[in-house]
Chain A
Amino acid sequence: MKTLSAKAYKYGDDINTDYIISGKYKFKSADMEAMAVHAMEDLDPRYYEKVSPEGGFLVAGKNFGMGSSREQAPLVLIHSNTKAVLAKSFARIFFRNAINTGLPVVECDTDLIDDGDELTVDLTAGIITNHTKGTEIPFPPLPPVMAQLLADGGLVEHFKKHGGFAL
C-alpha cells in the first residue's frame, strides 16, 4: 500500500450520493471522465476545478456516501483526482464500492483536519500527518478482506488475478 500526499478539501456530515454525483448525470452516459466535472456539484460547484489539477483529499464528517448504490460516486471522485476520502464514518454501500473500485477510504477523527491543510496519508502504517498543524492522526487499518481487495487494485483486478474470490 501506498503513501498519498495532497491538500484537504473539507465538507460536512451525511453527504449523500446525489451530492457526489446527481442522478440526472449518472444516466446520461457511462463516461466517467465527462461526468467527473459534476462531482460534488450541488455542494461545491468548483470541486472539480479545485481538486483535479493537483489532486486532493475529500474530508468529511459522519456517514459519508449515504443513499444510492451508484458506483459512479467513487468513480467520479477517482476521475476528479480525489486521492482518498477521509471521514468519521461511511455509509456501507459507498464504503464497499470505494474499495471495489480502488478509492482509498479512511475512517478517522476529521475534526483534527481543516479545509486547506496539507496532509500525508500512510495507508499501511495507519497514520495521517497533518503538515499544516504539525500533528499526527492514527486510524485503524482496514479489515484483511478489504485491505486485500484494495491492494489488488479493486475487485475487478482481484478477479482477474485469482479467477474468482481468493479471500
Chain B
Amino acid sequence: MVKISGKTISEKILSAHSGIDARAGDIVIADVDFVMGQDGTSPLAIRALEKMGVESLFDPAKVALVIDHSSPSPIEGVSALHTIMRDFCKKTGCKIYDIGEGVCHQLIPEHGHVVPGDLMVGCDSHTCTYGALNVFSTGVGSTDGAAAMASGKLWFKVPSTMRVTYEGELQPGVYSKDLILHLSGKIGVDGATYEAIEFHGPVIDALSIDARMTISNMAVEVGAKAGLMKADAKTLAWFEGRSPKSPAPVEPDEDATYIRELTFDVSGIGPQIAKPHAVDNVSPIEEVAGTPIAQGVLGTCTNGRFEDLKIAADILRGRKIHPDVRLIVAPASKRIFLDAMNAGYVSDLIEAGAVFVTPGCGPCVGTHNGVPSDGENVISTANRNFKGRMGNSNAFIYLGSPATVAASVLEGKIVDPREVLS
C-alpha cells in the first residue's frame, strides 16, 4: 500500500473548511469564517453585489469594512466612496471601522474576528498578515470578496507549501523585518507565487506576536498566497479576551510534503534594506549606509504595532531628528496609539521631531498624506517600494526595520541601527 503523506497547515485548514480531503493542487469550494474589505476595494465589491442582485450578506457578523487607506478623506471623490461604504454597512448590518480606527490588518485580529484555524479572505493583498496567528488568510479582489460576502464561500486552489526555518539567534539591531527582507532578496518577488509559506524554527518561536505579523504581512511580496505559522502559547495568550470564538490551532504533520525547504542561520544576518523600486532589490545595510534621506515613515500594516513604536522611541528618546528630515508616524490602530501614549512613546517621538497622523495606512500608499517630493529618498517601515507607491513616481523608497528608520532620521542618511544601539 502506498503511504499517504501528511498535510501542511494550508491543506488541513482548506480540508476542514471544504469537507474534502484536500491536497496541494486541488481546487475546493470552502466556507470562509470572515470577509473584509477596505476603502480602496470595498466600493467595487459593493457594486459587484449590486450587479449580482444580492441584497443581504451571508452573515453580517462575519463581514467588516475598514476605512483606512485614504482616511480621513482628502477629496470629495474619496468622501463619496466612504459614504457608499457607510451606507452599505447600515443597510446590511455588517461592521464598519471608520476613520482613525486603524489599519484593517491590525483591526481584524485585534478585535478577535479571526482565531487560529480559521479561513478568511480580505480585499487587500496584505490579508496574509494573520498567517502569523495560524489563520489561513489571503488577499482577493473585490469581486471575489463580494462572492464571499454573499455566499460565505469561495473557490481556492490548495497551494503547495514552501517551508522556511530560521535557526540561530537574532543579533542586536536585527528584527523580524530584516528576516523577511532577507528572504525576499534570496527568493525574489515571484519566489513563492501560487504557493504558501510556512515559517518555523526557534527564531520564530522566540518572536513576539507583533514581530511575527511583520513576517507574514510580507509573504505576498514574494508572491505567496499565505504566510503561516503555528499557534503556540504566546498566540493563544494574545487572543485571550479578544474573541468569543474558540481557537482551533492547526499544526502541519511531521511527514507533510513541502515543495521546497529553506533553512537560514540568522546569527549571520544583519539589518537589510530593500532599495528602489523592488522589494527583492535587497542589500545588507552596509552597502547603502550614508544614502541621504528626506523623510522617514514609521507605521503601516507591516510595522505600525506597539513593539515597533517602542523600538523607535527607545532610539529617539531624548534626541532630535535631523533638521532636514521629516518623520511621519502612523500607529496601526487607535488601541496601539493609546497604549503607546500611556507608555510615553508618543511624547518621546514627538519631542524628537516626529509628526503623528491618523491611525491607518498613513503615507504608504500615496493616497492622502506624506507624499514625497521629486527626487527625494524615503526610508520607510512599509512593505512596498514600487515606483510611485507613495504618490510620486519621481521619489525613491527604501524599506527597513523601525530601528533602521529611527537611526536614519537622526542623521538624515541611512544609518545602521547597530551604531546607535551600541
Contacts and interface: CB of A to CB of B under 8 A. Distances in A.
Interface of A: 14, 16, 18-19, 22-24, 26-30, 42, 62-63, 66-72, 75, 89, 91-93, 96-97, 100-101, 143, 145, 154-156, 159-160, 164-165, 167
A63 B384 CA distance: 16
Nearest to A63: B190
B150 A92 contact: no
A91 B386 CA distance: 15
Contacts of A16: 386
B137 to A, nearest CB: 12
A18 to B, nearest CB: 4
27 contacts: A14-B189, A18-B386, A23-B389, A23-B391, A26-B40, A27-B69, A27-B368, A63-B193, A69-B123, A69-B139, A69-B141, A70-B141, A71-B141, A72-B44, A75-B44, A92-B225, A93-B140, A96-B144, A97-B141, A100-B143, A101-B143, A155-B48, A156-B48, A159-B54, A159-B147, A165-B147, A165-B153
B421 interface: no
Given A14-B190, A28-B77, A91-B193, A67 B143 contact: no
B95 to A, nearest CB: 20
B52 A70 contact: no
Given A23-B365, A70-B40, A96-B141, A89 B75 contact: no
Contacts of B77: 27-29
Chain B interface extent, by class: 35 or more
Contacts of B51: 156, 160
B393 A22 contact: yes
Interface in B43-92: 43-44, 47-48, 51-54, 69-70, 75, 77-78, 80-81, 84
A1 B183 CA distance: 41
Given A93-B125, A100-B141, A100-B144, 12 more contacts: A18-B386, A18-B389, A24-B367, A24-B388, A67-B125, A69-B123, A70-B141, A89-B193, A93-B220, A159-B54, A165-B155, A167-B27
B388 A70 contact: no
B189 A92 contact: no
B369 to A, nearest CB: 12
A27 B367 contact: yes
B406 interface: no
B366 interface: yes
A70 to B, nearest CB: 6
B348 to A, nearest CB: 31
B142 interface: yes
Interface string B219-256: 01001010000000000000000000000000000000
B223 to A, nearest CB: 6
B194 interface: yes
A159 B150 contact: yes
Contacts of B53: 160
Contacts of A27: 39-40, 69-70, 77-78, 81, 367-368
A19 B388 CA distance: 8
A18 B388 contact: yes
A42 B365 CA distance: 15
B41 interface: yes
B41 A71 contact: yes
Nearest to B121: A69
A165 B30 CA distance: 11
Interface string B124-135: 110100000000
A69 B41 contact: yes
Counting chain B CB atoms within 10 Å of each CB, which of A14, A27, A89, A164 scores highest? A27
A23 B367 contact: yes
A96 B27 CA distance: 13
A22 B52 contact: no
Nearest to B37: A69
- A-B pairs with lowest CB-CB distance, top 9: A97-B141, A63-B190, A71-B141, A100-B143, A69-B125, A159-B52, A71-B142, A18-B386, A69-B139
Contact of B41 (A67, A70, A159, A167): A70
B408 to A, nearest CB: 24
A138 B142 CA distance: 31
Contacts of B75: 28
Contacts of B151: 164-165
A158 B147 CA distance: 10
A51 to B, nearest CB: 20
A24 B371 CA distance: 10
